[in-house]
């Protein structure tokens, strides 16, 4: 029987067998392997398990560059590349957070009649009749 603990152990086994970036395996492939072995598995579970492994100290990396997928770091260079990618993702998330916070702030501001909030795209039709 495929229990959640068994599925997690099976996911860990597949990921731990992939040492080095050149042996990375996509999450969908992990799901296919486990389903073929009779486990009930889904992509989110693979991602959650990889994150759990990282939190427990495993050097499990994932990359969106070729080859894509999960793998166990084999060299310091692989770890440094993964850290660089994570920092890039964090910077993008920080930008998204700042923009969302600014939008929320602007959305909470009182509206003056006829004034378009700065965060709202201005359409050409709204520009008609305005002095240059």
More confident residue, 52 or 107: 52
In a domain, 127, yes or no: no
In a domain, 51, yes or no: yes
Residue with tokens 């964090």: 90
Q: How many domains does the chain have?
A: 1
pLDDT digits (tens, 9 = 90+) for 67-104: 899 999 999 999 998 888 889 989 999 999 888 888 77
In a domain, 30, yes or no: yes
In a domain, 72, yes or no: yes
In a domain, 129, yes or no: no
Q: Which of 21, 25, 26 is nearest to 76 (CA)?
A: 21
In a domain, 132, yes or no: no
Q: Which of the four pLDDT bands, split at 50, 70 and 90, describes residue 2?
A: confident
Asked if residue 109 has pLDDT above 80, the reply is no
Asked if residue 127 has pLDDT above 80, the reply is no
What domain range is 42 assigned to?
4-108
- Tell me the torsion sign for CA atoms 20, 26, 31, 36: negative
User: pTM score, two decimals?
Assistant: 0.68
More confident residue, 127 or 42: 42
In a domain, 83, yes or no: yes
Asked if residue 5 has pLDDT above 90, the reply is no
Report the SS3 class of residue 18.
Answer: coil
Q: Which of the four pLDDT bands, split at 50, 70 and 90, describes residue 49?
A: very high
What is d(CA 43, CA 62) in angstroms, rounded to the nearest whole number?
14
Burial of 103 (0-12, 13-18, 19+ CB in 10 A): middle
The CATH code of the domain that includes 12 is 1.10.10
């Amino acid at each position: 029987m495929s229990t959640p603990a068994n599925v997690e152990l099976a996911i860990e086994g597949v990921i731990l067998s992939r040492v080095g970036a050149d042996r990375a395996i996509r999450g969908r492939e992990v799901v296919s392997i486990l389903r073929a072995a009779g486990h009930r598995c889904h992509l989110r579970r693979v991602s959650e398990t990889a994150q759990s492994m990282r939190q427990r100290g495993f050097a499990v990396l994932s990359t969106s560059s070729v080859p894509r997928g999960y793998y166990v770091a084999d060299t310091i260079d692989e770890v440094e590349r993964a850290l660089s990618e994570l920092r890039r993702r964090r910077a993008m998330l920080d930008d998204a957070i700042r923009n969302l916070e600014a939008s929320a702030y602007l959305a909470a501001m009182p509206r003056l009649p006829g004034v378009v909030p700065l965060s709202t795209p201005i359409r050409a039709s709204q520009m008609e009749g305005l002095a240059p």
